[in-house]
Structure 1
């Protein structure tokens, strides 16, 4: 179901309002959005901004990671999107959607009437490589994974609904770009995994997992019940480096250090399984905010690179916790409501409510929600509950 736009945005996003603005003359300023390809929150923000009739400069942080530190220093945040009206920072997508009509009107007028200083915001250098997706450029597992992932994200971005919640997998299946992706995915069988560093493994297997979910949804259709989900995650697989890796193998075998998955009786890899050599030594809790299983309750899909992977994953966790689908703090009741992800994988976050909540506090950004959680923790009387998980598919058909 598509999200309903808040009344405050509908007031200024009507065609009449935009047309009236366009007759007032040339726009002197611009809106700048720092985003990541395929991020649902970014898609929704850019769709909303597009209705204002203002020029929007979209800076893809996936292509320009060198700007991350500058943007974080400027905004105090590491999540995307980050939105500026000229040089006025308003925050992310949630902040945009919550703007009051008079606030939004003032910002629109600012962009129309005043130019933005050329050095006010960090922008990428011109004429940088676009990272074209050719298999010949891939010298190893990480490179091939990045190429495949970028192709999937292009498809995801093109076939993503305006609210960032649904994907038209049916239309995607007819795309020549998807067929090219399928051809390149075959080459995963030739990659060499044992030489990968921890950082390279994290980026490679997170990207591969997310791409495999999309590939499986397009070819087989999305699972709609518990039994179908069991089969999907235990049978949909890629041949990687000469070994078969299912979604279950990637998540619980490799990325969680060969731990039992939800409702699993055995570990994915036995002691004699050659794939055990690829598994990370310990569970990596941050991967839970990067893996997207194709359900509406999952974190958004993003691209990950080995360089600065821990920072990227912390950003993903911070973004997930900022969203009320991930964490809700009720100070009056002394209650913290969490995504089921924290219940299913509680062992990865310390195993107890206290350790879990302290982990969450440590990985939250500076925000009112963090202050509320700190206050609740200080009171010593805390109730932890878990919200129902939205297993509905993110397919629009």
Structure 2
């Protein structure tokens, strides 16, 4: 269809709501200009927010007419054919007026929007590790009643280096310390310091692990922390977008896992094994672990399948038996499957295993107990405790999951802007019906279960939680309503049912 006017769709890569809107336009034979906010400077995002009052995507314009997000667009398509046809007729005959938004200059797009090819630079210490493996030093040891499998002592290592390399003992000790600091191995009792004594160490590759990036130990030099986290997230989102159905509702995880692009991702994920995060700042840790957490969830869905409840298993069983009788109503969701998923899906990061629970509750929530947990993730002797934030960050709950009807206009999180980006994610979540709904007539505030499960992160009681939400909500009618209820001090809080459904084919 030829248009004198212009349709603008502001989106980000991998946003299913954006894809649904764009595919609807394609099905209607309506050409549009896609403005991907993730590849333009944040000024473009700020201009859009100033114009719409929204910090979510998609945002859709027909010439100067602001349509809204995907939900508003689909409502227009399905419920107001006359209004839609009126807008289309204008597009066909009328060029964009001066007050219509203008697409940004393509030359201003960020050059580093997508990761380049991963190239491995071999770490010189990987050759020393190979020699160590062939030295005969690595074997099962016993000290008193304690057994140390596939280990070597610090003293034996130093003796071996002195004899084979012909160097001073002090230099050999330094080499051993560098080996540990580079996360090729670690002290079995969690003491990071290398010692020239009968203290036992184990190579990372000799650990029994179920980590999804632990199938092969990388010989590559560790990459810079923040770029690695961002590249992993970008790669997996590119994959996700490529295998997302046209309606944006399902992901072909099987097809994704068989792709060459996924093997490229797997190779990059292995470099997490020896990345150095000990000296990272708070913001660097925030951006890194949010990016890696989100990437690991998709990685796990590809290779293990998403967590399912008993009812989903029951439906599979019925299909296999080819039963045609009407099935009984579904039993309650088995939250144990979810709990198991988040505790057993892991990556090796900086020489240690981190489950999804460890990243969220151990690192990002400053070692607080999560849902269903009886103890804190990290004990006092756990070396990962030194990686944990000193105090929890409530905003991470909106960066780790996009459960709203629209998405925040962020593809990855960067250390330099992570707090601003997480705030945008929070605004996107509470702006939608899945995060916060207000019934002014009954004076009831309906909140996501996230605010109940993690209440201590937001306040000591319902009133403080609602105040926190109000303080982190963008300006608009919903914020004004919440302010009115808070000032009146007479409102109730109820929690919305949480949707545990999955989107796999």
TM-score range, shorter chain: 0.7 to 0.9
Match of 2:85 in 1: 105
* Cα deviation 1:182-226 (Å, max 9, x = unaligned): 111101112111232222211111111011111111111111133
Match of 1:176 in 2: 260
Match of 1:214 in 2: 298
Superposition pairs of residues 141-156 of structure 1, within 5 angstroms: 141-156=225-240
Higher-Rg member (1/2): 2
TM-fit CA distance, 1:320: 1.2
TM-fit CA distance, 1:368: 2.9
**2:15–2:407 CA contact under 8 A, matched in 1:** no
Measured in 1, the distance between the counterparts of 2:358 and 2:240 equals 24
Measured in 1, the distance between the counterparts of 2:406 and 2:379 equals 29
Measured in 2, the distance between the counterparts of 1:348 and 1:370 equals 21
Match of 2:318 in 1: none
**2:405–2:432 CA contact under 8 A, matched in 1:** no
Cα distance, 1:364–1:86 mapped onto 2, change above 3 Å = same
User: Equivalent residue of 1:364, what SS?
Assistant: coil
Cα distance, 1:48–1:348 mapped onto 2, change above 3 Å = same
TM-fit CA distance, 1:249: 0.5
User: Equivalent residue of 1:70, what SS?
Assistant: helix
Measured in 2, the distance between the counterparts of 1:33 and 1:200 equals 32
User: In the alignment, is residue 392 of structure 1 matched against residue 493 of structure 2?
Assistant: no
User: In the alignment, is residue 96 of structure 1 matched against residue 80 of structure 2?
Assistant: no
Deviates more, 1:216-225 or 1:338-347: 216-225
Measured in 1, the distance between the counterparts of 2:253 and 2:454 equals 29
Superposition pairs of residues 171-210 of structure 1, within 5 angstroms: 171-210=255-294
User: In the alignment, is residue 364 of structure 1 matched against residue 473 of structure 2?
Assistant: yes
Match of 2:22 in 1: 46
**1:331–1:375 CA contact under 8 A, matched in 2:** no
Cα distance, 1:146–1:199 mapped onto 2, change above 3 Å = same
Superposition pairs of residues 1-397 of structure 1, within 5 angstroms: 22=1, 26-66=2-42, 67-99=44-76, 100-116=80-96, 120-126=101-107, 129=111, 130-136=113-119, 139-224=223-308, 225-292=334-401, 302-396=411-505
- So what's the TM-score if we normalise by structure 2? 0.68
- So what's the TM-score if we normalise by structure 1? 0.86
Structure 1, unmatched stretches of 5+, are: 1-21
Measured in 2, the distance between the counterparts of 1:189 and 1:284 equals 25
Deviates more, 1:49-58 or 1:238-247: 49-58
Aligned pair count reads: 371
Cα distance, 1:310–1:145 mapped onto 2, change above 3 Å = same
User: Equivalent residue of 1:285, what SS?
Assistant: coil
Question: How well do the aligned residues superpose, as a CA RMSD in angstroms?
Answer: 2.5
**1:361–1:373 CA contact under 8 A, matched in 2:** yes
Structure 2, unmatched stretches of 5+, are: 121-221, 309-333
User: Equivalent residue of 2:437, what SS?
Assistant: strand
TM-fit CA distance, 1:236: 1.1
Measured in 2, the distance between the counterparts of 1:219 and 1:298 equals 27
Deviates more, 1:384-393 or 1:88-97: 88-97
User: Equivalent residue of 1:155, what SS?
Assistant: helix
Q: Please list every run of at least 4 consecutive aligned residues from structure 1 whose deviation after the TM superposition is greater than 6 angstroms.
A: 295-301
Measured in 2, the distance between the counterparts of 1:391 and 1:298 equals 17
